[in-house]
Amino acid sequence: MLLTALSGPSFAVDHYKIDPDHTFTSFEYSHWGLSVQRGRFDNISGSIAIDPDAKTGTIDINIDTASVNTGSDAFNQTLRSSDFFDAEHHPDIHFISSRLVFDGDVLKQVEGNLTVKGVTHPVTLEIDHYSCRFMFIYGKQACGANGAAEILRSDYNLGRYAPFVSDAVTLHIVVEAIKDYP
């Protein structure tokens, strides 16, 4: 995966690879006003480059649409179909950041573009947890963050059954990444 170059004259850019065993993307939506339904994607890859001094960086995430998992094989197949994610023709959902927003040393927002089914719209992930530390298990620095954004299914040609099934979907991205991961 190519990593987008950072702007600015800093030389202290740290590179991380997303740890697929500790990175999850989930979604939730109102189902006919009866309940909140949840699902997730099981296969995620990507990279992060961050300059902690300049408070700049990029986050590049690919989500495998065929890995959608709702706990129901039949519903998973429906979501993979051309009525929804069309996994055969659009195998990835892609998020690429355009700006990281810090409050001091704490990452608060990630602004970027989300592409689903070939349609791209700006999205801002609100970060409610961000931490970096040395991880003994890896023998390396690792960073983690939890972010969420609300999107509209119809913006990405996923609006079937709206408004009965909510057009608004909350997208959650939980990321852990390992520095200089081979």
Per-residue pLDDT of the chain (182 residues; tens, 9 = 90+): 333 443 445 468 999 999 999 999 999 999 888 899 999 999 999 999 999 899 999 999 999 999 999 999 999 999 999 999 999 999 999 999 999 999 998 999 999 999 999 999 999 999 999 999 999 998 999 999 999 999 999 999 998 888 888 999 999 999 999 998 65
Report pLDDT for 2. 32
Q: How many residues does the chain have?
A: 182
Question: What's the domain range around 148?
Answer: 14-179
Q: Is residue 99 part of a domain?
A: yes
> Does 59 map to a domain?
yes
The answer to whether residue 133 sits within a structural domain is yes
Residue 10 has a pLDDT of 46
Domain harbouring 75, CATH code: 2.40.128.110
DSSP 8-state assignment for residue 57: E
The SS3 of residue 40 is strand
Cβ neighbourhood burial of 167 (10 Å; 0-12, 13-18, 19+): middle
* pLDDT in the model for residue 3: 36
H or E element in which residue 75 lies: helix 73-80
The pLDDT of residue 182: 56
Asked, for residue 5, whether it belongs to a domain, the answer is no
At 65 the pLDDT is 98
Number of structural domains, the chain?
A: 1
pLDDT computed for residue 15 by the predictor: 95
> Does residue 154 belong to any structural domain of this protein?
yes
State the distance between the two ends of the chain, measured CA to CA, in whole angstroms: 13
In a domain, 162, yes or no: yes
